[in-house]
Amino acid sequence: MAKAKSKSVFYCSSCGHEEPKWLGRCPGCGEWNSFKEKVLPTAAPTPSGLFEEAAVPQKISSIILEDVTRQSTGIPEADQVLGGGLVEGSAVLLGGEPGIGKSTLMLQIAMMASQDREVLYISGEESPRQIKLRANRLGINSDKLILYCESRVEEILRTLEERKPGLVVMDSIQTIQSPSQGMVPGTVNQLKYGCFELINWVRKRGAVLFLIAHVTKDGAIAGPKVIEHMVDTVLYFDHSGSELRVLRATKNRFGSVDEVGLFQMGSEGLSQVSHPEGLFLENREGELPPGISVAPVFEGSRVLLVEIQSLTVPAKGAVSRIFSDRVEGSRVSRVAAIMEKHLGIKFSDQDIYINVAGGMKIAEIGMELPLALAIYSARTGIRIPSDLIALGEMSLTGEIRPVPQIRRRLKAAEEMGFKRILIPGKSDETQEWTGSPPIIAKDIKEAIKQVFSAPQKH
């Protein structure tokens, strides 16, 4: 009797896209020569099928909506980034570089959550002893915090069904595996299959799932992009300075993606930064060096004062270059082009370097006028007054447009000792300003004249 032929499919090793036959280029992500063959198992029961009931079609009018209830993590900075707390049945993906503090943050969140529910901390990388040593250093000890060192999907699902924890942590998704998807952990199909099963379980049971992932050298979460589509929230844990950590969301189905959480890494774990307004300002005495300006920018619901640093040097080749990893390079190029057009100052023969003190990444529009002032100061060698802040959006026509929440920006600047402000136009939001009368500039030419024509102190 002839044996039945095993079926196989071809999958993209970059994004996980599947095709019945081999292709030279993936139609999903555009990568070349990324397809690999995978033999499909002849009979492999779906683990989640052991615990699930089949879904039934429903009329949309018959679906009863319940209010979304949130539970605090016990860490206000994390709650702010999550949109107010944890939502039952949600899945959160946390990515970051190795050693940045992902496991430390998750242990602290798990400890706070274990006060009123059982938490299952699943580790595929470390032994219980290693996790216990970290927990002792952080002062973490709870009978409701259960450590489980396992990487097989089927065993994890059985344990979840037995214990029914309220919060689940998987550290990390790169170690998860199932024999039905091959014997090598970390492959695209292993990640897709394992994460889908865990996400499906917590959604059916009303629990909360945290998936920890490493990042690639480019800063993206390692693994197929489809995992980010499956979860409800995607968080990134970044460095910003030697001990400062920034937690930010790039996707959040239950809240904003503009919020950031600030932490300091110490010997006893991560501590929150409660008053970060002037955290990114350099402590200097006297005047600012040329090429430096201060901008009050919004990060979510809070105002941060950041120092923008600029340097211009003659281009070493025929084409000028822009070096800026904290501010988008295209924005720097656009601001420089606006000044070259409307001020007549030449930047096309200059290499431009832009940095933000403290390592903070800025994308907010209100920093464009301070960025222009910093670049002009670096090009001319003229200092910007140390007690001046500026805010405004740059138009291609050279005009300066107003930005929202001026009152809150000025309040933060006033608390940090700034006395002078440069704004695009008159505003009722400056009535509470107690410093010098606001400097009004409608375009970049007028702004440069107002700032740099005043006598400089030496």
- DSSP annotation of 370 reads H
Phi, psi of 392 (to 5 degrees): 165, 155
pLDDT exceeds cutoff 80 at 6:
no
Any domain includes 419: yes
Cβ contact 382:454 at 8 Å:
no
75 or 284, higher pLDDT: 75
Cβ contact 238:246 at 8 Å:
yes
10 or 251, higher pLDDT: 251
Letter string b/e over residues 212-251, b meaning 16 or more CB atoms within 10 A of that residue's CB: bbbbeeeeebbbbebbbebbbbbbbbbebeeebbbbbbee
Cβ contact 347:321 at 8 Å:
no
Question: Is it true that the peptide bond before 172 is cis, omega within 30 degrees of 0?
Answer: yes
pLDDT (tens digit, 9 = 90+) per residue, 221-235? 777 788 999 999 999
Same domain, 153 and 239: yes
Cβ contact 452:441 at 8 Å:
no
Same domain, 345 and 431: yes
Cβ contact 365:323 at 8 Å:
no
Same domain, 341 and 399: yes
Q: Which domain holds residue 138?
A: 71-272
Where residue 212 sits, what CATH number does that domain have? 3.40.50.300
pLDDT exceeds cutoff 60 at 48:
no
Going by pLDDT thresholds of 50, 70 and 90, the confidence category of residue 455 is very low
CA nearest to 355, candidates 381, 313, 323: 323
**Residue list, annotated binding site for ATP:** 96-103
The total number of structural domains that make up the chain? 3
pLDDT exceeds cutoff 90 at 374:
yes
pLDDT (tens digit, 9 = 90+) per residue, 85-140? 999 999 999 998 888 999 999 999 999 999 989 999 999 989 999 999 999 999 99
Alpha carbon distances (Å) from 122 to 92, 232, 368? 15, 20, 45
Cα 281 to chain centroid, rounded: 21
State pTM to two decimals: 0.74
Cβ contact 294:305 at 8 Å:
yes
Of 77-91, 390-404, 442-456, the range with the lowest mean pLDDT is 442-456
Phi, psi of 390 (to 5 degrees): -135, 150
Same domain, 218 and 344: no
**Residue list, annotated binding site:** 96-103
C-alpha–C-alpha distance, residues 296 and 386, integer Å = 14
Q: Please classify residue 30 by burial: count the beta carbons closer than 10 Å to its beta carbon, then call 0-12 exposed, 13-18 middle and 19+ buried.
A: exposed
Same domain, 159 and 250: yes
Any domain includes 23: yes
As beta bridge partners, residue 319 has none
Same domain, 77 and 34: no
Phi, psi of 243 (to 5 degrees): -115, 0
pLDDT (tens digit, 9 = 90+) per residue, 396-442? 999 999 998 899 899 889 888 899 999 998 888 888 888 899 999 99
Any domain includes 2: no
pLDDT exceeds cutoff 60 at 45:
no
Any domain includes 180: yes
Alpha carbon distances (Å) from 350 to 97, 225, 308? 34, 38, 18
Place of tokens 């059916």: 204
Place of tokens 């941060």: 304
Cβ contact 391:370 at 8 Å:
yes
Residues 6+ apart with CB under 8 A from 65: none
Helices (H), 117-245: 128-138, 153-163, 188-205, 226-230
